[in-house]
Chain A
Amino acid sequence: EVQLVESGGGLVQPGGSLRLSCAASGFTVSSNYMGWVRQTPGKGLEWVSVIYSGGSTFYADSVTGRFTISRDNSKNTLYLQMNNLRAEDTAVYYCARVEGAVAGAIDYWGQGILVTVSS
């Protein structure tokens, strides 16, 4: 059974850092297009970052230079290192698996983890 379990969220002050983790089971992270999607009441669902099976990455303009996506193949885990956090980064963050068998849609999501940036 495919599962994605996120951890690492919480409250952080502006300018601070957090690292989100997404532990995967039932499939191999490095074989899939994986990423992070965040959700806010105001901006809806937004792709933050993706990492392709080959290792290349993409970042939304709003996080470029501050966030880094990576994976640890030995732990089958996806990460999102978030630095220099801003109030507008406050959101629920979802780990997501993009699957070619469903034409590039997201077939599995994590449970979501709340990141709150506030002083």
Chain B
Amino acid sequence: DIQMTQSPSSLSASVGDRVTITCRASQSISSSSNWYQQKSGKAPKLLIYAASSLQSGVPSRFSGSGSGTDFTLTISSLQPEDFATYYCQQSYSTPRTFGQGTKVEIK
């Protein structure tokens, strides 16, 4: 199975901050990386697919980049509703494994 390793596991940030979360795959996955946001008690929500494509309805302050083994999710200006846990996932091979999550907390 492909391992997806996220960093950091948690971070504290203020409203308006630029936030970057990284994800490293244990082998090359081309551009088959996705990002999800999960709020407490809710199902994950797709933000970014195919490394850099913004899912319909997702604010443009979210962006993704990377290819091969290294991927990044960036929130350009953190908003109050963005405090949540973020997960990366690879859709290159089955099982489509997830990272362990990054919790974004209020500073």
Contact = CB atoms under 8 A, between A and B. Distances in A.
Interface in A36-63: 44-47, 50, 58, 60
* Interface size, B (range): 20 to 34
A108 to B, nearest CB: 9
A90 to B, nearest CB: 17
Interface stretch (B12-20, B71-79, B92-100): B92-100
Interface string B76-89: 00000000000101
Interface stretch (A68-76, A81-89, A97-105): A97-105
B101 A106 contact: no
Interface in B1-52: 31-32, 34, 36, 42-46, 49-50
B44 A109 contact: yes
Chain A interface, DSSP helix/strand/loop, else mixed: strand
A107 B55 contact: yes
Residue from A60, A106, A107 with most neighbouring chain B CB atoms (10 Å) = A106
Contacts of A109: 43-45
Nearest to B41: A112
Contact of A102 (B43, B44, B46): B46
A111 interface: yes
Given A102-B55, A103-B50, A58 B91 contact: no
Residue from B32, B55, B89 with most neighbouring chain A CB atoms (10 Å) = B89
A58 B95 contact: yes
A58 B94 contact: yes
A77 B100 CA distance: 30
Contacts of A110: 43
Contact of B100 (A44, A98, A107): A44
B101 to A, nearest CB: 6
Contact of B96 (A104, A107, A111): A104
Given A104-B96, A105-B89, 20 more contacts: A45-B87, A45-B89, A46-B98, A50-B94, A58-B94, A60-B95, A98-B96, A102-B49, A102-B53, A102-B55, A103-B32, A103-B49, A104-B34, A105-B46, A105-B49, A105-B50, A106-B89, A109-B44, A112-B42, A112-B43
